[in-house]
A and B are shown apart, each in its own frame.
Chain A
Amino acid sequence: MRTGFFTAQKSDSPIHRLSGFTKLICFLILTGAVMYSYDLRVILCVMVFSFIILKISKIRFSQIKLMVIYVVVFLAINAILTFLFSPGYGTEIYGTRHVLLKLFGRYDITAETLFFIATKFMKYSSVIPLGMIFLLTTDPSELASSLNAVGVHYKIAFSFSLTLRYFPDIQRDYRDISQAQQARGLEMSGKARMWDRFKRALAILLPLILSTLDRIETITNAMDLRGFGKHRKRTWYSRKRMTRADFIALAVSLIILSATLLVAFFINNGRFYNPFI
């Protein structure tokens, strides 16, 4: 059985042993910290910290390669668009203007805008390792219980974890259906026209959707028969008890958040770090 992207890894590390609730809260706190701050130094510190945690969690780069590529491409596009729409934004923020390269019209490349874009790029990319740590070290059912613990309704939290639970099954269905359709003569290579490719995708998706609907009917019946949705709250068998490690993790996250805030209030006098004055 090949493992899919979302199947929680069965390896063990201090991070795996933390409760899902702790990891979710730490993820939210640290994300909040980097989202608040526009100080490149602070952001880089958080990033280095999260890479260390990534290392401790024994997550291999190959597991997150695809995700990293998507996010980097997305952020690169975002950076270009930011420049195209407001090339002078850096000056508005930092109040100075150092032109590095003169292009046409208002499109001058300034050190300020470049610095702003770099800050923003690092800020968003530092969220990736944090998110990956959370997703890859938390098994789906713990994920559900921790979402529920932070106030998400258990029906939504549970359906989320159920999707993850059945992800490998649906992947397997997809592979089987696609093999059988290839035997019928469906070419999977990309040399076809858009319309043909669409029709071919449909030849696999239609059976997949129908068999997935069958699955959903079965599982819904089974859940109804065992009392799912009876009360407004439920308990969780697999919720981990909070240990000392959990409190340490929460404390570390809070310290990082406070440090970020302190830097903003007392050193930068605002969310931005300004190296230009």
Chain B
Amino acid sequence: MKKEPIIAFRGFSFQYFSQSEPTLHDINLEINPGEKIMIAGPSGSGKSTLGHCLNGLIPFAYKGEISGSLQVGGTETRDMDIFTLSKTLGTVLQDADGQFVGLTVGEDIAFSMENDRIPQSEMKERVRKVAKMVDMDRWLTNSPYELSGGQKQRTELAGVMIDDVDVLLFDEPLANLDPATGRQAIEIIDDIHRESGKTIIIIEHRLEDVLHRPIDRIIVLDEGRIAADMNPHELISSAILKETGIREPLYVTALKFAGVKVTPEMKPGHITTLSINDDEKEAVKLWYQSVEPDFPPISNDNVLELEGISFSYDEGVEVLHDVSFGIRQGEMLSLVGMNGAGKSTIAKLMCGFEKESKGRILYMGDDIADESIKERAERIGYVMQNPNQMLSQPMIFDEVALGLKLRNLPEEEIDIRVRKALEICGLLPFIKWPVSALSYGQKKRVTIAAILALDPKLIILDEPTAGQDYRHYTEIMEFLRTINHSGVTVLMITHDMHLMLEYTARSLVVTDGRLICDQPASVVLTTQEVIESANLKETSLFTLAQMVGIDDETSFVQRFIDYERQVEKK
């Protein structure tokens, strides 16, 4: 007998009142109890909207026109309010930091029970039980400021599971997490699925990371319609990922580079299930040997040099210990490490936002300790992660011109420099536009243009691709590469391993306030101690190299990067 689906969309469409087109068109989808589903799709595909329809935020908080039917647990959602719905379907939102309601872990987990008027003694008991399931029971009295990103997310998860919901919905659970914590999150979700048999829905665009553990079906959304509904092996063998702009797993890209045809029979959904025959292994080996190593020319002059830098805040605890490295002119490099390891502090010291307690910072060989923040900004630009925190002018021209105006440059000079910066950033046609008319990615470009207008030799970007899907990621990174080619040195603070591999020749790794590694990304991502101490994870290329029988995994990863580079050039 066929089971009743726990979730059923039938001819379902949704249009926000503020938009002229529907965001979701004619969705037909059934999800059975106990299934583990991934909903993938690029930004703007409607996957978050679908999530909001499921958890009731649509129409409770976001208004719009609904047509067709959506049933959760056999009841039409339009007949339920958000509170009733939340007892069947619990949502773990992205950005665990922003939604931490309580002042302690225990209080946050209890939030939903407080609203249900559960007596205090029962709350304490249930909180203890659920906290144990996500391994947070030793942290009940800690405040959110004392927790890591992963711990905050586990607290959120406990806060949702306390209601014993049938369906758990995860909205971009990997956003804002470093690679190792992200992997842990996927493992915890999987453990809960296996132990409790709850229905799991994961909304994400990072396919390879989610496929670290088994998934029953992947629903791909594209422009508000379902583009695919298949199992991981079929999906990865199909052309849909390419068409919709979802990044395929790296090992699959490598197989394709080697001319191996990827088929569902190879079970390519997870690197652990992948099976390739001897001919295919040979093909990969041959390809590996045929790739010509690429040695990008690197200047020997340092644009910036840190010598024995230590730093402590007012309270006296030293957070950086004796950090030394040089950044060569024209380089594009990454600064990686766990949250709180000291990456941002290093960037702040470079920009002069904070003052080092020991050591020297040299710019083109000169000590710049006496320069003000404003003076340094003309040499070293800093782009914050969230463009909304930098944009302060209503018009694009004024935003880019702000720094120049504050330096009292003549009008004509300002005009020339703004135009030049906007041109590099591909925003010249928008010069007379208001900032509010731009997309998130375009806003990011405006902030970069505003920094470039000051003509710095080095720009530092904090997580330039955070929260971006593959297409936007590629757009931003290719754009940064163009800037780099125009002669600007680029340093990026990042968690993104793809970014490290594909765009930075060198990675600086910081752990507990110390620089522990200064090597090419291919070495960093194949060296076990470094991976562990910086909360990174092994790339699947490493596993593929071992599977094929290539001893020098690092060199395999490096050849992959070089080849990708060469393909792009052609």
Contacts and interface: CB of A to CB of B under 8 A. Distances in A.
Interface of A: 1-2, 139-141, 161-162, 165, 168, 173, 176-177, 179-187, 202-204, 206-208, 210-211, 214-215, 218-231, 233-239
Contacts of B61: 220-221, 224
A176 B347 CA distance: 12
Given A218-B95, A226-B101, A235-B120, 12 more contacts: A185-B403, A207-B388, A211-B388, A215-B98, A218-B93, A219-B99, A224-B57, A224-B60, A225-B55, A230-B115, A235-B113, A239-B120
Interface in B98-143: 98-99, 101-104, 106-107, 110-120, 123-124, 127
B372 to A, nearest CB: 8
Contact of A210 (B119, B388, B454): B388
B86 interface: yes
Nearest to B313: A2
Which 7 interchain pairs have the tightest Cβ spacing? Answer: A185-B406, A222-B99, A237-B110, A183-B377, A227-B115, A218-B98, A203-B392
Interface string B82-100: 1100100011010100110
Interface string B58-96: 001100000000000000000000110010001101010
B145 interface: yes
B63 to A, nearest CB: 14
B389 interface: yes
B107 A226 contact: no
Contacts of B391: 206-207, 210
Contact of A229 (B101, B102, B115, B120): B115
B373 A182 contact: yes
Interface in B354-392: 373-374, 376-377, 381-382, 384, 386, 388-392
B534 interface: no
23 contacts: A2-B313, A141-B103, A165-B103, A183-B373, A183-B377, A184-B377, A184-B403, A187-B374, A187-B406, A207-B388, A207-B392, A219-B101, A225-B82, A225-B86, A225-B90, A230-B116, A231-B117, A233-B117, A235-B120, A236-B114, A237-B113, A237-B120, A237-B124
B433 interface: no
A183 B111 contact: no
Contacts of B93: 218, 221-222, 225
A204 B120 CA distance: 43
A234 B101 CA distance: 15
Nearest to A183: B377
Contacts of B101: 162, 165, 219, 222-223, 226
B402 A231 contact: no
B212 to A, nearest CB: 26
A186 to B, nearest CB: 6
Q: Which of A202, A225, A239 has the most CB of B within 10 A?
A: A225
Contacts of A139: 103
Nearest to A203: B392
A234 B127 CA distance: 17
A226 B115 contact: yes
Nearest to B95: A218
**Residue of A203, A222, A230 ringed by the most chain B CB atoms within 10 A:** A222
Nearest to B405: A185
Given A211-B386, A234-B115, A183 B98 contact: no
Contacts of B57: 221, 224-225
Nearest to B85: A225
Nearest to B108: A237
Nearest to A230: B83
A2 B314 contact: yes
A176 B450 contact: no
A237 B106 contact: yes
Contact of A214 (B119, B120, B388, B390): B388
Contacts of A221: 57, 61, 93, 99
A185 B407 contact: yes
B123 A237 contact: yes
A38 to B, nearest CB: 40
Contacts of B376: 183
B351 interface: yes
Contacts of B91: 225
B98 A238 contact: no
Given A176-B389, A177-B389, A184-B406, A141 B102 contact: yes
B374 A185 contact: yes
A65 B91 CA distance: 45
Given A141-B102, A180-B382, A231 B406 contact: no
A184 B127 contact: no
Nearest to B96: A222
Interface string B293-323: 0000000000000000000011000000000
Contacts of B90: 225
B213 interface: no
Nearest to A214: B388
Nearest to A227: B115
B488 to A, nearest CB: 16
A218 B99 contact: yes
Nearest to B392: A203
A10 to B, nearest CB: 8
A88 B60 CA distance: 62
Contacts of A1: 145
A139 B141 CA distance: 12
Contacts of A179: 348, 351, 353, 373
B46 interface: no
Q: Which of A177, A208, A226, A238 has the most CB of B within 10 A?
A: A226
Contacts of A229: 115
Contacts of B119: 235
Contacts of B55: 225
B526 to A, nearest CB: 35
B232 interface: no
A227 B98 contact: no
A185 B348 CA distance: 16
A234 B83 CA distance: 14
Contacts of B381: 183
Contacts of B86: 225-227
A180 B111 contact: no
Nearest to B447: A180
B224 interface: no
Contact of B374 (A141, A183, A225, A231): A183
B159 interface: yes
Nearest to A238: B107
A222 B402 CA distance: 37
Contacts of B110: 237
B124 A181 contact: no
Interface string B510-529: 00000000000000000000
Given A218-B99, A227-B86, A207 B390 contact: yes
Interface string B382-415: 1010101111110000000011001100000000
Contacts of A183: 351, 353, 373-374, 376-377, 381-382
Nearest to A210: B388
Contacts of A202: 392
